[in-house]
Amino acid sequence: MPEAMQLMRDRRPDLIHIMADIGGAFLRHFGDAYLPMLENTQRALALSFVRMAYRHGSWGSDFHAYHNESHTLELLNGRLARVRLQLGWTALEAEEWLLLAIFSTCHDLRQRELPSMIDGVGANERASMAECARILELAGFDPELHAEYFDSMAHMIAGSTFDASPGNVSGADAANAGGSMSFKLVKRFEAANPAWRQDPILRRRHRVILLSSDLDTANVGEPFLALARSGERLIREREFRHDRTLDSSEHVAGVFEFLTDGQERYFFKLHGFGSEVGKSVFGLGKTINAPKLKQLTDSLRERYPDLHNVTGEMVIRSFIELASPPAV
For residue range 18-77, what is the model confidence (pLDDT) as tens digits? Answer: 999 999 999 999 999 999 999 999 999 999 999 999 999 999 999 999 999 999 999 999
Number of Cβ atoms within 10 Å of the Cβ of 274: 21
Residue 133 is predicted with a pLDDT of 98
Q: What is the per-residue pLDDT for 33?
A: 98
CB of 189 closer than 8 Å to CB of 209: yes
Contact (Cβ atoms closer than 8 angstroms) between residue 96 and residue 26: no
Dihedral over Cα of 241, 106, 217, 223: its sign: negative
Confidence at residue 169, expressed as pLDDT on a 0 to 100 scale = 44
- Band of the pLDDT at 173, cuts 50, 70, 90? very low
Residues 6+ away with beta carbon under 8 Å from 275: 207, 210, 211, 214
For the chain, what is the mean pLDDT? 94
CB 83 within 8 A of CB 91: yes
What global pTM score does this model have? 0.93
Residue 180 sits at φ, ψ, to 5 deg, of -75, 135
